[in-house]
């Protein structure tokens, strides 16, 4: 079977799958076209005639493509993925020693979020928290890239960045959930 | 025997067209549609009626569906099942929670959906839905003159896993092969999008008899990408009727509890008539028993405004989920009979700031879209023209310590999707783990829907916290979930037991299938033979066309010849009268072609990466006369 052109398989990286260089900076709009192209090929609807087995296989492929797209579009997942495929997987639950400045910023954001419900304009208050968390995420992204580019010597610091991103990401999710709760009532 | 291979680019002969339909299984009305002569049309019954009221009457002598059953609703309300879709995949508590008049007698079951007592015995909501689907299947087969290859059946986008599974079970009972469960708003978008060749962001506002859906989609070059979906599976035109009915009771001084089931039905019918009439009239006279009064449109609007408010709240929520503003919406599409109510149209137009599109009949548009998708899935039309990327409407997760839900897949995630989460044991030497699968948005498990409970057995005994149990959620293109679990540290595949909380068990379905054949006096073995042949032919044709297209590129000569002979073996088997034999050969051939299918997908991805077609890749490969035998 060696002379048969076998394509990308489950072991190829998400970057290869999307035909982009192995780099942290990925623009959603730049890979969206490729995403649709890949789904056109692997989506289970393309294999409706193949019966249950074919469907199962296509579901796995399509899920793989979706996972890849989702990972590449998320600043946090992308960072964790890059570290993982370079042999430095991060256990997000462990080694959570953060520098003081970051912890202070975290606490201040959390306090603001906790006080949202008492505000006269809760929506604006959430928006303010969100903007700050987004800004934090933005600077973490830049920081990550600079450590990442150092190669082996920068991986540990890049991993710290990813952990901080995890905090920022969770804060953004909580802000969203809170907004929803307020909106629903 | 030689395989018949048509020229590339040529479609199959008209007489070889696969008979596939789209079915809109609605709360109030159902329809069946198919693509004929290039256009999708709904199919009428012998009397010229396209719409089949979703009503089943179980009489002591016979079963009736549609309009004739509907006419018996007031006379025999307990044996005439209306709006059964509201009970699909629901427990007794949910059904009792449905506001309004339910004259039926429910039988409480240990678990799952309650059954409805009728003179023909207990009927599951799945059986009632199957009776509606059977009527549509027969209509289609009589009109089109042949056995159906399969059907695309639409469901509200906001249907959860239990409701989807119940719908699929109903199709199975009705003898239909489900090509795909398709979300109703997505179907409507297909009908509009392909019609206009439009591009951009579409909002589909779908208000039916009993369900409300909102979907935000982006259409680009034939790809319909659902960005967000939301809704309410217990809100629809039926609730408008109930508002008017309450108004009648309030002003007539009558008490609902004092009305007989027959009178309750008549009250709802009077309310529904008033609602419909108020689309054209400014005011309408309502007569109920010996009471009479006038209802004007303004009063009617004020009665239903709180319900419309709820739908608009869902619209705003979905827009937020899609990270869009109302100005980003290029088109609003109105779907469902309840969007005929003027106040609904006006308030949606006011929110979005655009006149909604209503040029395709809102009752038929879903069936039409489903038929277009069925045509593609049956292989009659190139799949290059149409691709639907849908999302999961509600988050899926697991119960964790403290009665909280840990989300594994978030709502509005594009499907198919597979996600895994790791868990560990709580006690030393623990060998089993109870896993509770949930669907919903809230943190506390009680407010979410319980989908299934598993017991994972066979975990090797070890200290607490050391076992690594990986639970994988997979959602397929129908939006249906499957869950598997395995213990990672030892590599031991553990045993998983699934008990669907609101579904029917395999055994129940099998029994019902047998009962329904006996009741309808259909020849069961003939039916099984036909089904086996349809499946065998489907596999054969898929393999044939795949071999023709990529066989000489992706297979070694001996592999190619092997699959070719397998295909022939299957074609031969199809002629057999032995059902088990056909099924067996179909299984074997499907398995034998699995590697080829995998390679085709890989090659497709490879080709997409390099920007070339599979054919281009093949140019370097020797493709001599392997097709000739």
pLDDT of residue B6: 38
Do residues A114 and A69 both lie within one domain? Answer: no
For B612, name the nearest residue in chain A, comparing CA atoms only. A37
Predicted confidence (pLDDT) at residue A139 exceeds the cutoff of 90: yes
Domain regions of chain B by residue span: 19-184+365-381, 237-302, 396-507, 523-618
Check: CB of residue B550 under 8 Å from CB of residue B614. yes
**What does the pLDDT look like over A117-132, one tens digit per residue?**
888 888 888 888 899 9
- Residue A79 is assigned to a structural domain of this protein: no
- Mark yes or no for CB contact A9/B599 under 8 Å: no
Q: What is the CA radius of gyration of chain A?
A: 20
Distance, in Å, from the CA atom of A81 to the CA atom of A88, rounded to the nearest integer, reads 9
Cα angle B321, B326, B329 (rounded to 5 degrees) comes to 90
Pair of tokens at residue B550:
């990529």
- Peptide bond before residue B416 is cis, with ω within 30 degrees of 0: yes
Q: Is B85 a catalytic residue?
A: yes
pLDDT of residue B314: 93
Q: What is the CATH number of domain B396-507?
A: 2.60.34.10
- Mark yes or no for CB contact A41/B605 under 8 Å: yes
| Residues making up chain B, counted from first to last | 629
pLDDT of residue A53: 73
Q: Is B298 a catalytic residue?
A: no
pLDDT of residue B614: 44
Q: What is the CATH number of domain B237-302?
A: 3.90.640.10
- Residue A89 is assigned to a structural domain of this protein: no
Check: CB of residue B232 under 8 Å from CB of residue B202. no
Tell me the shortest Cα–Cα distance from A156 to chain B, in angstroms: 24
Measured between beta carbons, which residues in chain B are less than 8 angstroms from residue A9? 602
- Residue A177 is assigned to a structural domain of this protein: yes
- Residue A88 is assigned to a structural domain of this protein: no
Partner residue facing B609 (CB), from A3, A8, A48: A8
Residue A155 sits in a domain whose CATH number is 1.20.1280.20
The H helix count followed by the E strand count for chain B is: 17, 27
Do residues A105 and A67 both lie within one domain? Answer: no
Q: Which of B85, B123, B134, B168 is catalytic?
A: B85
The H helix count followed by the E strand count for chain A is: 7, 0
The parent domain of residue A63 ranges over 14-73
- The residues facing B34 across adjacent strands are B41
For A41, name the nearest residue in chain B, comparing CA atoms only. B604
Q: What is the CATH number of domain B523-618?
A: 1.20.1270.10
Do residues A120 and A166 both lie within one domain? Answer: yes
Tell me the shortest Cα–Cα distance from A101 to chain B, in angstroms: 30
Q: How many CB atoms lie within 10 A of CB B120?
A: 16
**What does the pLDDT look like over B465-488, one tens digit per residue?**
888 888 888 899 999 988 888 887
Distance, in Å, from the CA atom of B14 to the CA atom of A178, rounded to the nearest integer, reads 57
Do residues A106 and A176 both lie within one domain? Answer: yes
Q: Is B515 a catalytic residue?
A: no
Q: What is the CATH number of domain B19-184+365-381?
A: 3.30.420.40
Do residues A118 and A176 both lie within one domain? Answer: yes
- The residues facing B206 across adjacent strands are B213, B335
pLDDT of residue A96: 65
pLDDT of residue B628: 30
Binding-face residues of A in 52-71 toward B, CB within 8 A: 52-55, 57-64, 66-67, 69-70
pLDDT of residue B482: 86
Q: How many CB atoms lie within 10 A of CB B591?
A: 11
pLDDT of residue B444: 77
- Residue A94 is assigned to a structural domain of this protein: no
**Below-50 pLDDT ranges, chain B:** 1-15, 497, 519, 521, 612-629
> Where is pLDDT greater, at A182 or B373?
B373
pLDDT of residue B335: 94
Which of B376, B416, B566 is best to mutate for the A interface (most A CBs within 10 A)?
B416
Q: How many CB atoms lie within 10 A of CB A153?
A: 8
pLDDT of residue A7: 41
Q: How many domains does chain A have?
A: 2
Do residues A178 and A107 both lie within one domain? Answer: yes
Distance, in Å, from the CA atom of B288 to the CA atom of B8, rounded to the nearest integer, reads 66
- Residue A85 is assigned to a structural domain of this protein: no
Check: CB of residue B200 under 8 Å from CB of residue B179. no
Does the fold of domain B523-618 match that of domain B19-184+365-381? no
Pair of tokens at residue B132:
């509606």
- Residue A124 is assigned to a structural domain of this protein: yes
Predicted confidence (pLDDT) at residue A4 exceeds the cutoff of 50: no
Q: Which of B184, B375, B544, B566 is catalytic?
A: B184
Q: Is B321 a catalytic residue?
A: no
């Amino acid at each position: 079977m060696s002379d048969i052109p076998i394509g990308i398989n489950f072991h190829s990286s998400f970057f290869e799958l999307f035909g982009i260089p192995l780099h942290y900076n990925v623009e959603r709009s730049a890979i969206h076209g490729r995403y649709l192209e890949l789904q056109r090929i692997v989506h289970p609807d393309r294999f409706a005639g193949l019966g249950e087995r074919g469907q199962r296989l296509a579901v796995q492929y399509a899920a793989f493509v979706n996972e890849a797209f989702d990972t590449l579009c998320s600043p946090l997942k992308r960072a964790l993925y890059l570290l993982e495929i370079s042999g430095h997987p991060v256990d997000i639950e462990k080694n959570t020693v953060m520098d003081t400045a970051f912890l202070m910023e975290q606490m201040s954001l959390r306090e603001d979020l906790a006080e949202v419900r008492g505000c006269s304009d809760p929506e604006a208050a959430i928006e303010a928290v969100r903007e700050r968390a987004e800004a934090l995420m933005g600077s973490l992204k830049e920081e990550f890239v600079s450590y990442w580019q150092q190669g082996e010597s920068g991986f540990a610091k890049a991993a710290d960045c990813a952990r901080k991103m995890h905090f920022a990401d969770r804060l953004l999710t909580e802000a969203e959930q809170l907004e929803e709760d307020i909106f629903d009532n | 025997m030689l395989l018949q291979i048509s020229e590339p680019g040529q479609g199959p002969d008209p007489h070889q067209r696969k008979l596939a339909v789209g079915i809109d299984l609605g709360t109030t009305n159902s329809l069946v549609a198919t693509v004929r002569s290039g256009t999708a049309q709904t199919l009428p019954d012998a009397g010229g009626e396209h719409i089949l009221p979703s009503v089943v009457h179980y009489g002591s002598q016979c079963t009736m569906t549609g309009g004739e059953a509907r006419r018996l609703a007031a006379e025999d309300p307990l044996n005439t099942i209306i709006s059964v879709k509201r009970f699909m995949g629901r427990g007794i508590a949910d059904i009792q929670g449905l506001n309004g008049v339910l004259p039926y007698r429910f039988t409480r079951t240990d678990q799952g959906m309650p059954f409805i007592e009728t003179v023909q015995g207990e009927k599951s909501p799945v059986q009632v839905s199957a009776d509606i689907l059977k009527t549509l299947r027969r209509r289609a087969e009589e009109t089109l003159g042949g056995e159906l290859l399969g059907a695309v059946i639409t469901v509200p986008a906001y249907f959860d896993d239990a409701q989807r599974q119940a719908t699929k079970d109903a199709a199975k009972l009705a003898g239909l092969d489900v090509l795909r469960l398709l979300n109703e708003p997505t179907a409507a978008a297909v009908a509009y999008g392909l019609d206009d060749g439009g591009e951009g962001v579409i909002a589909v506002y779908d208000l039916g008899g009993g369900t409300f859906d909102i979907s935000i989609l982006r259409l680009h070059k034939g790809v319909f990408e659902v960005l967000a979906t939301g809704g309410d599976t217990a809100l629809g035109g039926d609730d408008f009727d109930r508002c008017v009915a309450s108004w009648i009771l309030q002003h007539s001084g009558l008490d609902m509890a004092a009305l007989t089931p027959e009178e309750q039905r008549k009250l709802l019918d009077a309310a529904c008539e008033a609602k419909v009439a108020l689309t054209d009239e400014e005011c309408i006279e309502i007569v109920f028993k010996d009471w009479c009064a006038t209802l004007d449109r303004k009063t009617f609007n004020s009665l239903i405004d709180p319900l419309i408010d709820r739908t608009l709240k869902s619209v705003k929520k979905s827009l937020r989920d899609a990270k869009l503003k109302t100005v980003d919406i290029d088109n609003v599409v109105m779907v469902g009979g309840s969007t005929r109510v003027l106040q609904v149209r006006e308030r949606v137009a006011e929110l979005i700031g655009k006149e909604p599109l209503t040029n395709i009949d809102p009752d038929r548009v879903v069936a039409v879209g489903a038929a277009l998708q069925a045509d593609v899935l049956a292989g009659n039309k190139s799949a290059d023209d149409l691709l639907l990327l849908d999302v999961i409407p509600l988050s899926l997760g697991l119960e964790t310590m403290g009665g909280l839900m840990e989300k594994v897949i978030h709502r509005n995630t594009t499907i198919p999707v597979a996600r895994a989460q790791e868990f560990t044991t709580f006690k030393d030497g623990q060998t089993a783990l109870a896993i509770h699968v949930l669907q919903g948005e809230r943190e506390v498990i009680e407010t979410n829907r319980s989908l299934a409970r598993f017991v994972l057995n066979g975990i090797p005994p070890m200290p607490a916290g050391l076992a690594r149990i990986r639970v994988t959620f997979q959602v397929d293109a129908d939006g249906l979930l499957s869950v598997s679990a395995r213990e990672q540290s030892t590599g031991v595949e553990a045993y998983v037991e699934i008990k669907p909380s609101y579904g029917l068990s395999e055994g129940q379905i099998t029994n019902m299938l047998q009962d329904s054949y006996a009741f309808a006096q259909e020849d069961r073995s003939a039916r099984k033979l036909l089904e086996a042949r349809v499946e065998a032919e489907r596999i054969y044709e898929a393999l044939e066309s795949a071999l023709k297209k990529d066989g000489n590129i992706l297979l070694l000569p001996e592999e190619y010849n092997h699959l070719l002979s397998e295909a022939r073996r299957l074609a031969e088997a199809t002629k057999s009268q032995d059902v088990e034999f056909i099924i067996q050969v179909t299984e074997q051939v499907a398995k034998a072609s699995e590697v080829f299918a995998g390679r085709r997908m890989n090659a497709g991805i490879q080709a997409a990466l390099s920007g070339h077609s599979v054919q281009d890749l093949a140019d370097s490969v020797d493709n001599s006369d392997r097709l000739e035998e």
